[in-house]
């Protein structure tokens, strides 16, 4: 059969399957899996080239379907048999539903789908962006499972469970200073407690009363039944003094509503919903509870993202937001300050300040005035202001002219009269051009002199400054290492007593993210007081830096220790700050830190040392819209599974008493992702661990949570678990990849090597591409576009290395010149091999036992070839033993000649780039690169010697033995900044 005949056969099969899909019922689960990670091509006649199976064509969808863009404002669909597909502005699939109206569920399974169907149309633009992971002092809550029984845990509220109580807030009747902020939250809140006020079986009406009888930082909530004007609705009254306390109280009312629903679900008295009787009273432990967000390490949050964070902060009770902007704000007359960095304009900062003010939150500028100015100092315009590459030249008049302009610009659009002027980690101050110009001088004297000059600039504008305190300790110890800051024996009092002193109205911020013992923090707080700062600030951290997802276990543990010290009678401070940093390119989604924000806020409103698990679970669901247990599970990305020898890993054994030293939590997921796949120099660190199973299980749960989360369900923010889920799937394929390839290579088993490349390396290339596409879409949704280029270079480098690795291994295994394979791409594998288990659903881990299982999250039943997973292809296709170039669209197969040496049991098809795997009917598109002869090095000349030169007869990288760098260690590793785009070496 010639090529035209084979194309006709493929078209016929595709038509039959398309007709079958058109007759299939509206199955949300099926179509969600079909569309996951793909781009919708609208127009029933559209047939673009499908590269690596990225597209889903409208002609392949059921007749009763509609495609809805998130920016449309059309009415809810009332047809239960219609498939409604939601896509973003780039036509990337988001979610799917059938119909949109309520109906009685005939069964538990059908009921879950009906509840998904009844939700309002998805409007992601109107939703907070948040996410989460797991603590040490909060046990993982049950989030799924059977109904409660004698020996079972209480049933948890599921995403599709209907809202049992609506919370009604009469905005117009509220005190004037609350109205704008209440409107912001009621209209844009994550979960539908407010929207359900008129439709839920029960309603709570919330009123507010500002009174001087309640102390500042305290609020009281009381309930009564039938006291409202809503026909017997329960009446909730909030009495408060500060504006922010009213919003914290509202968050606790939502938490109480969720707790009452859970109680009734598990057999509690329904009066908890109909006629609640409870009181809530809290007192803030700190005068100021602040959140600082790093907007200088590539990721500059959009204004809408900041608003979303502010809404969550208000319901938690935060009083201050600091945006850390080294050079990411626009300055008039300074075009190279923040050049191409996406800096905030005056209007943007003013909009943030107005939005925060409506909810009682103060916005304070946070800049740098000494170190961390390398982004600015790199430009020739500022060459004269350099002391070192990162430190600005003090004592120079031009320096203070620029700093005065920066301080004036960043403070002008904000109401606050406070400012954070940085000055941390100014290593090498006075040791660069300063020494050449002014001679050798004591670092402490230079620092204090510069601080006094900047303090004067702030005083002229009526600003009270604060600084990070680490340089006071490091300069005194004459040691730039971090441990000199935390060394309890390092007392800077003597050194700074010889200097002019620190101005009394400068607040010192003690930052420590690394310890788990409260006494370490308490001792350092006392040392700050000895420096003359009566009430230093304490700053903890949510571990978002040097990783792709916030690591919650250590975030909870370290913040608990610092909070206990800050709340203790001996160490009590007036202000606590939680920081979110984005070191090394800001790969992490900052909203994944929301559970840490909530944990710190709850700790900051109680004298207790522990926070109850049920309280955290209810408050996270009610305030942030996520299932805490599911979000906590995402921390498995950086947790160590059991070793293969059956012994328990360190993560499973009871934790030993914390030693008085700094801790660096593992970021193994980051390094497994970015390390060079062929060299894989860190793989000996985790050689004994079953990371394949560990990450496959993690991907299953997280992707399952993301897929089943409804836009208007209980856990809409569970959809963000797609990012760690996709990452886990990549890690399942990439961990120990080199070892699995090196073994058959060294054994000389080319067929096994090719099999490993097809079943693990090729799916890894696909999974990595899907992760990149989702990460790209997520970045542009919450950050400004500037900065993404750094991460895209990493993804591009990884993709190129994986493709090179694949091409060389295939060329070696098939004994074919690389140039021929570049044209053909007709590569087959041994029959019976399917995709890697990480790409299969949990119920189909063994393809040989269950080849007909439904496709998993990354698989589609139609991968572009017209063949369906689990369906045997026609005999005419299976019998093909030759491949041919994609470019040869009209030539006879026989004329093309063989381009692949056939192996036993191998079948290949490459018409239009389609490849068949092992007789199971698993197809996907793989087009051949089409290079003109003059540009293709493999096409220069046609004699045998050229092809011989292009043969891959060895893979030296796989001959090298690897050695363990850190014995028995899974540590936190940082990138070498000189190799930041291709992090293949330690920093």
Q: Measured between alpha carbons, how far is 911 from 382 in angstroms, rounded to an integer?
A: 58
What does 512-573 look like in DSSP terms, one character per residue? --S---HHHHHHHHHHHHHTT-SS-EEEEEES-TTSSS--HHHHHHHHHHHHHHHHSTTT--
Q: Measured between alpha carbons, how far is 403 from 409 in angstroms, rounded to an integer?
A: 10
Question: How much is the average pLDDT of 300-326?
Answer: 98
Express each pLDDT in 938-950 by its tens digit.
Answer: 554 445 555 555 6
Which residue would you say has higher pLDDT here, 14 or 408? Answer: 408
* Alpha-helical runs (H) found in 480-517: 482-486, 493-497
Alpha carbon of residue 130 to chain centroid: 9
HSE, side-chain direction, 13 A CA sphere, residue 804: 12
The closest of 538, 529, 475, 535 to 511, measured between CA atoms, is 538
Express each pLDDT in 852-865 by its tens digit.
Answer: 333 333 323 333 32
903 band by pLDDT with thresholds 50, 70 and 90: very low
The 3-state DSSP class for residue 269 equals coil
Which residue would you say has higher pLDDT here, 108 or 339? Answer: 339
Q: Measured between alpha carbons, how far is 4 from 12 in angstroms, rounded to an integer?
A: 12
Least confident of 221-230, 541-550, 727-736, 811-820: 221-230
507 pLDDT exceeds 50?
Answer: yes
706 pLDDT exceeds 50?
Answer: yes
The 3-state DSSP class for residue 857 equals coil
Residue whose pair of structure tokens reads 């009270």 in the numeric block: 464
72 pLDDT exceeds 50?
Answer: no
The set of long-range contacts for 723-726, using a CB threshold of 8 Å and a minimum separation of 24, is 723/131, 723/548, 723/549, 723/589, 723/592, 723/774, 723/775, 723/778, 724/548, 724/549, 724/592, 724/634, 724/637, 724/698, 725/698, 725/699, 725/701, 725/857, 726/699, 726/767, 726/770, 726/771, 726/774
Please count the helices (runs of H) and the strands (runs of E) in the chain: 32, 22
Contact status, residue 546 vs residue 509, Cβ threshold 8 Å: no
Question: How much is the average pLDDT of 191-212?
Answer: 89
In terms of phi and psi (left: phi > 0; alpha: psi -120 to 50; beta: otherwise), the region of 921 is left
pLDDT at 300: 97
CA–CA distances in Å: residue 230 to residues 39, 227, 233, 276: 46, 9, 5, 15
Strand ranges inside 27-161, DSSP E? 39-41, 55-57, 65-69, 83-87, 93-98
pLDDT at 58: 73
Residue whose pair of structure tokens reads 């009787």 in the numeric block: 277
The set of long-range contacts for 969-972, using a CB threshold of 8 Å and a minimum separation of 24, is 969/685, 970/640, 970/666, 970/668, 970/685, 970/686, 971/664, 971/666, 972/546, 972/664, 972/665, 972/666, 972/667
pLDDT at 838: 42
Q: Measured between alpha carbons, how far is 577 from 442 in angstroms, rounded to an integer?
A: 31
The closest of 140, 128, 120, 350 to 251, measured between CA atoms, is 128
What does 172-225 look like in DSSP terms, one character per residue? GGS-HHHHHHHHHHHHH-SSTTTGGGTTSSEEEEEEEEE-TTSPTTEEEEEEES
Q: How many Cβ atoms sit within 10 Å of the Cβ of residue 986? A: 14
Q: Which two tokens stand for residue 786?
A: 């500037």
pLDDT at 90: 60
Question: How much is the average pLDDT of 261-266?
Answer: 90
pLDDT at 29: 62
Q: Measured between alpha carbons, how far is 178 from 199 in angstroms, rounded to an integer?
A: 25
Express each pLDDT in 528-572 by its tens digit.
Answer: 998 888 899 999 999 999 999 999 999 999 999 999 999 999 889
259 band by pLDDT with thresholds 50, 70 and 90: very high
82 pLDDT exceeds 80?
Answer: no
Question: How much is the average pLDDT of 51-68?
Answer: 68
Instruction: Compute the chain's Rg from CA coordinates.
Output: 30
The gap between the terminal CA atoms of the chain, to the nearest Å, is 58
The 3-state DSSP class for residue 65 equals strand
980 pLDDT exceeds 60?
Answer: no
pLDDT at 500: 52
Q: Measured between alpha carbons, how far is 521 from 539 in angstroms, rounded to an integer?
A: 10
Q: Which two tokens stand for residue 766?
A: 């696909």
822 band by pLDDT with thresholds 50, 70 and 90: low
What does 627-666 look like in DSSP terms, one character per residue? -HHHHHHGGGGGSPPPBTTSPPPTTTSPPPPPPSS-----
Q: Which two tokens stand for residue 314?
A: 């208000």
Q: Measured between alpha carbons, how far is 765 from 806 in angstroms, rounded to an integer?
A: 9
688 band by pLDDT with thresholds 50, 70 and 90: confident
Least confident of 126-130, 181-185, 241-245, 365-369: 126-130
Question: How much is the average pLDDT of 397-421?
Answer: 98
Q: Across 22-36, 68-82, 324-338, 937-951, which has the greatest mean pLDDT?
A: 324-338
Q: Which residues contact 647 (CB under 8 A, 6 or more apart)?
A: none
DSSP state of 92: B
pLDDT at 69: 65
Q: Measured between alpha carbons, how far is 389 from 384 in angstroms, rounded to an integer?
A: 11
Contact status, residue 527 vs residue 570, Cβ threshold 8 Å: no
The closest of 551, 53, 623, 545 to 310, measured between CA atoms, is 623
Question: How much is the average pLDDT of 315-331?
Answer: 98
117 band by pLDDT with thresholds 50, 70 and 90: very low
pLDDT at 142: 29
5 pLDDT exceeds 70?
Answer: no
CA–CA distances in Å: residue 319 to residues 118, 165, 174, 250, 360: 38, 29, 20, 15, 7
Q: Which residues contact 594 (CB under 8 A, 6 or more apart)?
A: 130, 131, 132, 312, 620, 624, 626
The 3-state DSSP class for residue 51 equals coil
Q: Which two tokens stand for residue 173?
A: 């009747």
122 pLDDT exceeds 50?
Answer: no
pLDDT at 143: 30
Question: How much is the average pLDDT of 478-505?
Answer: 75
Q: How many Cβ atoms sit within 10 Å of the Cβ of residue 39? A: 17
Which residue would you say has higher pLDDT here, 544 or 232? Answer: 544
644 pLDDT exceeds 60?
Answer: no
The closest of 541, 543, 540, 542 to 525, measured between CA atoms, is 540
701 pLDDT exceeds 90?
Answer: yes
Return the axis-axis angle of helices 613-624 and 303-316, rounded to nearest 10°.
140
Least confident of 33-47, 403-417, 603-617, 892-906: 892-906
HSE, side-chain direction, 13 A CA sphere, residue 784: 21
Q: Measured between alpha carbons, how far is 515 from 487 in angstroms, rounded to an integer?
A: 12
The closest of 74, 126, 112 to 709, measured between CA atoms, is 112
Q: Measured between alpha carbons, how far is 397 from 385 in angstroms, rounded to an integer?
A: 10
Return the axis-axis angle of helices 762-782 and 788-814, rounded to nearest 10°.
170
The 3-state DSSP class for residue 960 equals coil
926 pLDDT exceeds 80?
Answer: no
Overall size of the chain counted in residues: 987
Q: How many Cβ atoms sit within 10 Å of the Cβ of residue 441? A: 14
Q: Which two tokens stand for residue 529?
A: 């007081």
């Amino acid at each position: 059969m010639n090529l035209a005949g084979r194309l006709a056969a493929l078209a016929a099969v595709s038509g039959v399957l398309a007709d079958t899909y058109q007759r299939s019922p509206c199955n949300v689960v099926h179509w969600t899996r079909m569309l996951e990670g793909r781009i919708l091509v609208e127009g029933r006649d559209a047939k673009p080239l499908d590269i690596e199976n990225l597209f889903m064509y409208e002609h392949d969808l059921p007749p009763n379907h509609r495609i809805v863009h998130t920016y449309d404002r059309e009415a809810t669909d009332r047809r239960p048999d219609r498939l409604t597909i939601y896509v973003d502005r780039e036509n990337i699939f988001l979610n799917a539903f059938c119909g949109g109206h309520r109906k009685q569920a005939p069964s538990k399974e059908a009921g879950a789908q009906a509840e998904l169907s009844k939700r309002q149309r998805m409007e992601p633009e109107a939703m907070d962006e948040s996410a989460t992971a797991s603590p040490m002092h909060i046990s993982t809550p049950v989030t799924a499972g059977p109904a409660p029984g004698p020996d079972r845990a209480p049933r948890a509220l599921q995403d599709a469970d209907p809202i049992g109580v609506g919370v009604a807030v009469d905005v117009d009747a509220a005190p004037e200073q609350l109205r704008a902020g209440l409107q912001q939250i009621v209209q844009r809140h994550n979960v539908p407690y407010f929207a359900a006020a008129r439709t839920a079986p029960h309603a709570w009406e919330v009123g507010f009363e500002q009174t001087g009888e309640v102390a500042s930082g305290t609020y009281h909530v009381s309930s009564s039944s039938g006291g409202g004007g809503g026909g017997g609705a329960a009446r909730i009254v909030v009495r408060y003094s500060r504006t922010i306390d009213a919003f914290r109280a509202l968050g606790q009312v939502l938490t109480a509503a969720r707790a009452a629903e859970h109680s009734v679900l598990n057999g509690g008295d329904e009066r908890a919903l109909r006629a609640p009787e409870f009181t809530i009273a809290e007192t803030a432990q700190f005068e100021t509870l602040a959140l600082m967000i790093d907007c200088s390490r590539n990721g500059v949050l959009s204004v809408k993202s900041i608003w979303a964070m502010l809404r969550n902060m208000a319901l938690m009770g935060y009083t201050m937001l600091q945006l850390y902007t080294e050079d990411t704000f626009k300055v008039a007359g300074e075009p190279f300050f923040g050049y191409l960095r996406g800096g905030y304009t005056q209007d943007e900062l003013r909009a943030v300040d107005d939005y925060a003010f409506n909810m009682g939150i103060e916005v304070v500028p946070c800049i740098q005035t000494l170190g961390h100015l390398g982004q600015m100092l790199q430009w020739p315009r500022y060459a004269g202001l350099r002391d070192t590459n990162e430190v600005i030249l003090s004592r120079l008049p031009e320096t203070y002219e620029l700093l005065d302009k920066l301080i004036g610009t960043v403070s002008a659009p904000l109401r606050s009269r406070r400012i954070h002027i940085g000055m941390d980690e100014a290593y090498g101050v006075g040791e660069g051009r300063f020494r050449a110009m002014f001679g050798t001088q004591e670092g402490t004297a230079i620092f204090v002199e510069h601080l006094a000059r900047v303090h004067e600039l702030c005083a002229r504008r009526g600003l009270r400054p604060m600084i990070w305190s680490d340089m006071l300790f490091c300069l005194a110890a004459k040691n730039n290492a971090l441990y000199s800051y935390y060394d309890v024996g390092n007392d800077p009092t003597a050194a700074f007593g010889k200097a002019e002193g620190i101005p009394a109205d400068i607040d010192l911020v003690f930052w420590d993210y690394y310890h788990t013992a409260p006494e370490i923090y308490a001792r350092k707080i006392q040392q700050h007081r000895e420096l003359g700062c009566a009430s230093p600030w304490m700053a903890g951290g949510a571990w978002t830096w040097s990783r792709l997802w916030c690591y919650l276990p250590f975030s909870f543990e370290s913040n608990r220790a610092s909070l206990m010290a800050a709340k203790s009678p001996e160490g009590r401070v007036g202000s606590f700050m939680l920081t979110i940093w984005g070191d090394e390119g800001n790969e992490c989604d900052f909203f994944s830190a929301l559970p840490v924000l909530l944990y710190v806020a709850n700790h900051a409103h109680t004298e207790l040392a522990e926070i109850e698990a049920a309280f955290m679970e209810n408050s996270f669901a009610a305030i942030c819209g996520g299932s805490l247990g599911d979000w906590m599970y995402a921390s498995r990305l950086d947790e160590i599974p059991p070793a293969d020898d059956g012994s328990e890993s360190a993560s499973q054994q009871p934790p030993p008493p914390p030693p008085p030293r700094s801790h660096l939590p593992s970021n193994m997921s980051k390094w497994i992702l970015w390390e060079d796949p062929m060299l894989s120099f860190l793989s000996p660190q985790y050689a004994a661990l079953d990371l394949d199973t560990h990450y496959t299980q993690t991907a299953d749960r997280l992707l399952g949570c993301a897929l089943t989360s409804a836009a208007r369900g209980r856990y809409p923010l569970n959809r963000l678990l797609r990012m760690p889920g996709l990452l886990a799937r990549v890690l399942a394929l990439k961990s120990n990849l080199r070892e699995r390839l090196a073994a058959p290579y060294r054994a000389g088993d080319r067929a096994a090597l090719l099999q490993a490349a097809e079943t693990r390396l090729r799916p890894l290339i696909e999974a990595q591409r899907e992760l990149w596409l989702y990460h790209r879409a997520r970045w542009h949704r919450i950050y400004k576009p500037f900065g993404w280029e750094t991460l895209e270079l990493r993804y591009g480098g990884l993709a190129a290395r994986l493709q090179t690795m694949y091409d060389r291994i295939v060329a070696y295994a098939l004994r074919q010149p690389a140039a021929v394979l570049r044209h053909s791409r007709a590569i087959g594998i041994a029959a019976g091999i399917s995709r890697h288990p990480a790409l299969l659903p949990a119920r189909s881990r063994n393809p040989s036992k269950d080849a007909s299982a439904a496709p998993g999250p990354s698989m589609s039943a139609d991968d572009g070839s017209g063949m369906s997973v689990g369906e045997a292809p026609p005999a005419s296709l299976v019998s093909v033993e030759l491949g041919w170039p994609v470019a040869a669209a009209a030539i006879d197969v026989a004329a093309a000649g063989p381009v692949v040496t056939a192996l036993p049991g191998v079948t290949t098809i490459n018409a239009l780039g389609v490849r068949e795997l092992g007789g199971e009917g698993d197809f996907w598109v793989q087009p051949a690169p089409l290079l003109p002869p003059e540009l293709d090095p493999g096409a220069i000349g046609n004699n045998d010697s050229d092809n011989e030169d292009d043969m891959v007869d060895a893979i030296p990288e796989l001959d090298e033995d690897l050695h363990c760098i850190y014995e028995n260690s899974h540590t936190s590793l940082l990138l070498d900044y000189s190799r930041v785009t291709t992090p293949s070496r330690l920093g």
